Structures are given as structure tokens and as C-alpha cells.
Structure 1
């Protein structure tokens, strides 16, 4: 099997002959978090010659270990957090909402962040998502509209390397083709297409941040099929692409350096206090700071940085830091057919439908339909979980593999003040800090919409002649692990945490690049919007510098 990732030009940041986690002198910008937002911001700033330092709480993973991590991922002995060295004590959290939120199931700490294990789908939000209150009568309006973000969407698609097509008649307008052609429909997509044609449901391709052809020095997808939680070939984008590019431009990356608190004056951050593996604490000073820790750790850090000036948490004069926590709710239905479906041959989505998305109103949320390529157990999973061998195993594989088929869907959750991230007063992490408490409240609109999604999925699978074997509906829905909304963007400092320029209202030298700034979530996977907002934040920061 050919192809693979080019080696990084440097591994650990090495200064003075050894791994050096001491602060960088005369830093222009300190970026906290080495995920896609932090990586993109750092790269854009470093390109202009700025002195940038990235502080990342987790480790730097060796690309050479990715095959071993893939093998770990397919073995039933390991749970998903173990693939990227999850640490229950370091990553401790609480969940006290009406629904349990399994935060660590899809959390990766390290250089690359959540893109180390994401699936890689990258859609733009629809135009009405930016004007939910005005158009749909619920939620909130963003202080920017689709046209404001449109050039940044195009730039983000170039930065990530997106394979896509213009075959989606329901997508918002765009200005240029995707950088690479879309992946072709899978075999099971063709089965779905026959049923959807009868039901007059449109299918179209999925834009993916993975290479359909060699691109940006990385190979085309070679079909490992384990995209979530690990891509050994590097064909799927992850944030190490931008972090390593920023390093080549002079950025310093300090890994295993969790920021404990932010020191500040009345209107500026003066330093990020971070810990190192040897138990020491250091102060990284800078002219400007970018918090890019995601929708949970970003509000947690601000709340941990409380002071007499900000007794309720830093940048929290509005009282809204941590409030309006949102995720996308999952709806799914699956079954079996009396014919091969070739599921588990492709590890990502190649077809979906946005046909019903813009029918959203106050009663029903926007949603998209997903046509799975990976329902049912894989042959490896079946072989490793049974007690039979030889002919008996072969017979079980023949009878139980290859005829599963499934659908998914993402549903918008409205922003609610009773859905939030707070500090747990009774539980601490390995550094003695209060852990995040995720209080997840979904709401009736999302639950009604999940029922509607299930009904459409049942119609499609019935048209296929499938026997239904599972369903995720309103009662057992779970999150898509898209953390949004906890430092929302707005024009009014009393009703938001950051302005349209992504700078906090309270602090002159602090920007937030994260899905935490989303006023609403829509029903599209958020990473492309995160990348677009990161580019926008970088532009505003450069103007300020």
C-alpha cells in the first residue's frame, strides 16, 4: 500500500539541546490550543512574521505510531479514548444535566485536537442558520451573515483541502469549485438511491476534508476505513498540518502544557500560567492571546481565571460564559437486507441529503440525512468478539456480515441558558482544578425533529425492503460531540462574550477562535465554520497588532 504522510520537519520543539517548555521571550501572540482553530490562527500569524507560541495541554503524537493506533482502534479490548491516550484523571469531568453527556468518548488531548479522530465532513452552514431568530422565529441571529463569512469559507476549504462537488441543489451559494473532486458514491449509496428516487428524496455528495487525489504533499485516501478514530495515511486533514507549517515559519509549540489560569489587568490578559510534566508552572506573556480550546475547555479556562475584577470568571461581565451549550442530536435507523450491502468498505460518508434542511421553523429544527457506509460489525470485529474459529468462524462471517444498512441524521439543538458548562465544586482534575460540569438540556423542538427524521429513515429503509433492527430516536438520542455556544458571539456586550471580530468584549487583547462562539449550531458539522472563523479572527488580530 503506497502513500502516506510526509515527515514533519521537526518533532518536539527542541531548544538548547533538549525539550524546552520554558516561556518564549517577546511573544507577539500566545495561542492556547493546537486544534484546527489554534493551528490555523498560528499559521496565518506566523506567515506575517509574528512571534507566536502555542500552548497545548496534551502531547505531540508521533506519526509513525498511527498504524499501531489503528490496530488499537479495531480491537474490542480498547475503548475509543484509549486510541489517543485518554487519561481519566487528567480528563475528568461531571455531567449533571437532564441527559448524561459522555464527554470523554470523543475527546482527544494533543497536538491536532479533535481532528485527530474526527470523521472529516465539512459543510457550510446554510444562509438561514445565521438568521435563525429572524427567519425561523427561534434561536438567535448571528452578528454576521453568510455573505460576511463566504470568502472565509472558500479560504477554509483551500486550507483544509476539501474534496467536493457542486451537485447539492440545497447548499448555499459558493464562489468556486472545491479544491478536489468529490469521492464517488459507494455501492450502498446506489441501493439508497433507488429507494430515494421512488420517494422523491434527493441525494448528493458530501464534502470531505480528505484527499480524493494527492494534495498538499499528502497522499490520496488509500482506504484504511478507520477514519474515525484514526487515519494512518494522512489523507484525512488534521490540525497537525497547520501546526507543523506554523512551526516551519517560526512558531514555538509547547506540548503537555495545560494552561491553569489567565493573569490579567482590568482590560487585558498579561500571561497564561501553564504547568509542565515536571510539576513546574510558567508564565507565558504576550501582546495578544487567542483561546482556541473548544466549546468545553474554553469556558472552563475563563471560569478558572476568576479574580476580584471578574469574580464570575474572566471575560464574563455578561454572565454568559459557559451558557448556551449546544450539540447536534443524532437520529438513526438501521436494519438488514437479503442482499449484500458492502457496508464497512468505506469509513466515511459519500452521500447525504439536505432536502428538508431549509423547511425548518419554530416547530421543527433543521436537519440533514446521512447515508451510512459503515453499519453493522466489520469482519475484524466479528472475528475478535466470538469464541469460534476456522470453519465455524467462516460460517458466522458468511451469515452475519455484509447485509447491514443504516442511516443517520444530525438535528439542531436550540441555545438554552439551562444547557451549560460550569465548574464542578466537588471534583478536581490531576492538577487540582475543578473539572468541567456539562449540563446538557436538549429541548422539545429537537426531540420532535428527531421523530420526523426517524419517520423519513423508516420510509427509505421500508422502500429498500429492509428489516429494521435498531433505531436512535428521541428517548435515546445522543450527541455528535460538536461542542458549541459557550462563549457566544454578538454585538451587545450584555448578551454575548465576543464581538463580530471574535475579540472578547471585556478584554482588549483576547480573541476566541472556537465553535464556542456560535450563537446557533444549525445541523451542519462545525469544523469548516470553525476554520472560517479562525481565519477571520486572525485577520482582525493582525489589524489590531
Structure 2
């Protein structure tokens, strides 16, 4: 039986994108009695196929992408100082990026909302932490977050986490005395995965393949709330990529989302309110594709900032080997980190006797968070496949190469720069003949300084631990966290931003953007919890408008 992908005749809200923001908004708005349609460019991925997809990820010799990314549908180009590997870590489908995310969910700090007053490099947000605080609690309950209130640097919260934190790993216990010697505080990592049964989903069973797939369902993915939305009456149409948004002659309101279907047909979904929840690359692309006489430079782009200020988080890391077993276990997620250097990255690091190990600096730096890895060694499967030995000799070789590696990682926030942007590349088209997104991306001096700073602190901890450091990832060879931010930035001035504090576009009265694309600055925290909190807040505003 063919799937019906024809439009609904009466709709209150049309949501573009079935990732975490779109799913949360659909579930909440449908629960408030509104008629909701969700248009998702990718397919549904059935839960009973998760084990097969996990096997695809870990079995040698299988080159097919776990989530079927690639080809003309997902084509892009990259320009600027650095190539941006867009398709390495995105998913088009019901559930979006949460199908393959690591699941770490931290709240932004109060300082992130205030911006950097001294240098002005990070603009203030048009809302405060307290404005978002109740929605942070709401989204933690929705996701199911395991955590503990043991982080002395975290912003204030109301009440405990929904579930207790995962216990520290064995390798965390190895880091602990070195950090204590250097006065560095370790604390737990909030995770959107079940440490016990929650919301009808089992506790984590330790497959260790959280990225790119959790076969047990213990890690939250947005298809959970898509199912909730459908139970409440919402309709979700998959494999329905939106080609453009149409507006009334005045351009003040969106009248329809024009989408394609696999049978080659094109349809128009009309609605009273529209929400874009398709991520920090596809949202600006769609707005630029929707240019018309009333919006000649792209929809909601009177500021000229649609697509500009593209930001990501940059990876910093260091590791090596230690003369004792580390009991390596590819848990798949982190259990300990430190935010000690988040608000004050230039502070000195001293040992127990007061000797300076990492000198203080007053140079402008970005926020950073540092992570203690549970798994840092080579893959024994890859070692076996690439080696020349067999049998007992192979076993001895694996024992020599595996089991005493240890490492740290971390994320550094990127400064917003208007030259980093998403544009349309008409020289390359997708499977429907539309220009593909082009990413212009480079790193600024502040980000590079902060990466060097993160490496210095990581090296100090590893040296204290007695690690023979064999690798470091810093400014020259860093890579992105695949957290797409800033391309429809939030602000009070329509000339300097795309959306306002309630995430409605300045130019179009019935168009809301729910995504990290609205972030004015990047911070250094994984963004999904903030995306969810903003989406739930925006749902309240859309509900009030209806």
C-alpha cells in the first residue's frame, strides 16, 4: 500500500524537520489541541533495524553509511580556509541528529547569555539563563537525563535530574589523583540515556556504539516524541523535502511549504503558523531558496544575515600510554569532565605546592570544557585485520598494543564571524535541481589560542599522571564537533539579527525558527539541550499566537 504524502486541508502548524526541535514542538503543540503536520526530508528508520545498523557500523569491509547519507540528495560544497565535512555527522530522517549523537546534555552557563562585555566578541543573547531555566528542566524530563548535581561550575537548577548519573569509569579513577594534585575539579557528565528504566525505555545495556547507533533505545532519540506527537493527532510525512516557502503578496506571512515526494509529485502544505527545525545548514539554505519579489535576498533576510555567523565547536585532545592497565572499555559515552576553565580559561594551573604548571594569561579566550575519555586506544579489530600475525602471536601483539592507552578531549567555542557562512552554490544541484549549500569556514585567532590553551592543560594533567604522550590535536589539525550554530542569529535589532527572543523572524510574522541556528554565540557546551529548551519555549509562543 502506497504511503499517503498529500497535504492536509486544515493545519494550524507546519513544522519542517523531525529532529529534536521539531519533534518536541510537534508533541507539545499537538498536546495543546492544535492540528500539526511535520514535513521531514528523510525516511523513517524502523527501530527493529537498529541492530542491523549497528552491525553495519562495526563490521569490517562495509562502506555503506549507517544512516544512508550521501548522493545527490545530500550534496554540498565547502570553501574557505578549511574544508567542512558536512556529511560526516548529519542524518536526514525521522529523529534527525539524535539518531547518532553521543547524548551529552549540558546547560549553557549564565555567562554565555551575557556575552563577552570586555571584548564584545560574543554578543549577548536577547534572553537570560533564567528565561530558559524552566524549559531546561522541562527538556531534561522529556529527554530523560541521567546526572548529578556535583558540578560546582554549573548554573543553578531546580531539583534533581530525572535519573541518577552513571558511575565514574575506571579510567576516571586514574585521572582523579592527577587532577587533585593540580587543583582541577572533576564532575559527572549529564547524559540523555537511561541509567535506569525511564519513560518506557530500558536502561543502558552497554553496547558501546552510541555513535552512530543505539540499538537498545536507552539513549534518547527524537523519534520518541514523533511517536508521542502522532498519538496526539499530529501527522508526520517522511521523504518530503521542502523546496521553498511561499508568502502572500505582501511577504508578511508564509502561506505554504512546497514539498516534493518520491513519486515525483510536488505539493503545497498550507498552515497558520510555520516552524523551521531542519538544522543550522538546511534552514538558511531553505530561506535563501525561498526568495521572491517581496524578499529578493531570501526569506526573512532583510538584515542580510541569513547564513552568516556559522559556528561550530572545535576539538582539542591529547593522549598516549601509561605503565598500567587502564581497563579500556568502549562505553560509548563520557562519565567525567571539568568545566573549571569554562568561564575563566586563562586561570593558572598550580600543583599542590603552589608551583605554576600552566601560567595564567589575560589574552581573550573562548569558553572550553575538558573531557576524560573512557576509551582511547586503537581498535583491536582493526589491529587484527591490518596485522600480519595469526593465532597466539596475534594475541600477544594485541596485548602489547591494547589496554594501556589513555586520553583527554574537549570542546572549544568558536567566535562568531560574519565571513563564516552558508550560501547557495548554483554550480552544483541536489536531486531536485536546487542549488546545494556551500559552507565557507575558517578559524579565528581566539579559537586557535584557546585550542592551544586546552592542549596545555590536558598535557599538564597527562604529565602528572605519568603518560607517555604520543599525540595531540590542536589548532593545526582540529576538527568540528558538528554543532551547526549561528546562521539565523537571535537578537533585538532586526538589522543585526534574523529572529527575536521568541524565535519568530523579524520579517515574517508567522515563521518561527527552532534550532541552534539562532544561537548568537557558541559557548562550548553540546547544544542539543539548549535547542530543546528553546523549542519548548517557542512552542508556548506559537500556542499563544494560535
Where on the TM-score scale, by shorter chain, does this alignment land: which range?
A: over 0.9
1:256 aligns with 2:239: yes
Give the match's secondary structure for 2:494. Answer: coil
Matched with 2:72 is 89
Task: Point out where structure 2 has 5 or more consecutive residues left out of the alignment.
Answer: 346-361
Q: Is the 8 A contact 1:137 1:362 kept in 2?
A: no
Give the match's secondary structure for 1:368. Answer: strand
TM-score, with normalisation over the residues of structure 2? Answer: 0.95
Task: Point out where structure 1 has 5 or more consecutive residues left out of the alignment.
Answer: 1-16
What is the deviation of 1:483? 0.2
Alignment of 1:74-473 (within 5 A): 74-78=58-62, 82-134=65-117, 137-265=120-248, 266-360=251-345, 363-473=364-474
Give the match's secondary structure for 2:72. Answer: coil
Write the deviation string for residues 396-432 of structure 1: whole angstroms up to 9, x where unpaired.
2211111111111100101110111111121111111
Write the deviation string for residues 90-139 of structure 1: whole angstroms up to 9, x where unpaired.
11101101111111000111100000000000000000001113266421
What is the deviation of 1:296? 0.4
Q: Is the 8 A contact 1:344 1:375 kept in 2?
A: no
Tell me the matched-pair count. 528
Question: Quick one: which of 2, 7, 10 aligns to 1:26?
Answer: 10
Cα distance change on mapping 1:165 and 1:280 into 2, 3 Å: same
Q: Is the 8 A contact 2:426 2:434 kept in 1?
A: no
Task: Name the CA distance, whole Å, in 1 between partners of 2:427 and 2:90.
Answer: 22
What is the deviation of 1:339? 1.5
Task: Name the CA distance, whole Å, in 2 between partners of 1:42 and 1:330.
Answer: 33
Matched with 2:350 is none
Task: Name the CA distance, whole Å, in 1 between partners of 2:520 and 2:260.
Answer: 32
Write the deviation string for residues 10-31 of structure 1: whole angstroms up to 9, x where unpaired.
xxxxxxx641111112011110
Matched with 1:58 is 42
Write the deviation string for residues 34-89 of structure 1: whole angstroms up to 9, x where unpaired.
0000000000001011111110000100111111111111134345x701111232
Task: Name the CA distance, whole Å, in 1 between partners of 2:482 and 2:39.
Answer: 23
Give the match's secondary structure for 1:133. Answer: coil
Task: Name the CA distance, whole Å, in 1 between partners of 2:317 and 2:60.
Answer: 23
Larger deviation: 38-47 or 137-146? 137-146
Task: Name the CA distance, whole Å, in 1 between partners of 2:390 and 2:55.
Answer: 20
Write the deviation string for residues 291-313 of structure 1: whole angstroms up to 9, x where unpaired.
00110000000001011111110
Task: Name the CA distance, whole Å, in 2 between partners of 1:337 and 1:428.
Answer: 50
What is the deviation of 1:374? 2.0
Give the match's secondary structure for 1:471. Answer: strand
Give the match's secondary structure for 1:134. Answer: coil
Task: Name the CA distance, whole Å, in 2 between partners of 1:136 and 1:328.
Answer: 20
What is the deviation of 1:162? 0.4
Q: Is the 8 A contact 2:39 2:242 kept in 1?
A: yes
Task: Name the CA distance, whole Å, in 1 between partners of 2:77 and 2:221.
Answer: 28
Q: Is the 8 A contact 1:136 1:362 kept in 2?
A: no
Task: Name the CA distance, whole Å, in 2 between partners of 1:384 and 1:89.
Answer: 33
What is the deviation of 1:437? 0.5
What is the deviation of 1:393? 2.5
TM-score, with normalisation over the residues of structure 1? Answer: 0.95
Superposition RMSD in Å: 1.3
Matched with 1:38 is 22
Matched with 2:478 is 477
Matched with 2:504 is 503
Q: Is the 8 A contact 2:121 2:416 kept in 1?
A: no
Give the match's secondary structure for 1:300. Answer: helix
Larger deviation: 397-406 or 111-120? 397-406
Task: Name the CA distance, whole Å, in 1 between partners of 2:25 and 2:297.
Answer: 28
Give the match's secondary structure for 2:71. Answer: coil
Task: Name the CA distance, whole Å, in 2 between partners of 1:387 and 1:289.
Answer: 59
Matched with 2:349 is none
Q: Is the 8 A contact 1:412 1:522 kept in 2?
A: yes
Q: Is the 8 A contact 2:260 2:266 kept in 1?
A: yes
What is the deviation of 1:198? 1.1
Q: Is the 8 A contact 1:162 1:180 kept in 2?
A: yes
Task: Name the CA distance, whole Å, in 2 between partners of 1:337 and 1:89.
Answer: 46
Give the match's secondary structure for 2:121. Answer: coil
Q: Is the 8 A contact 2:514 2:531 kept in 1?
A: yes
Give the match's secondary structure for 2:308. Answer: coil
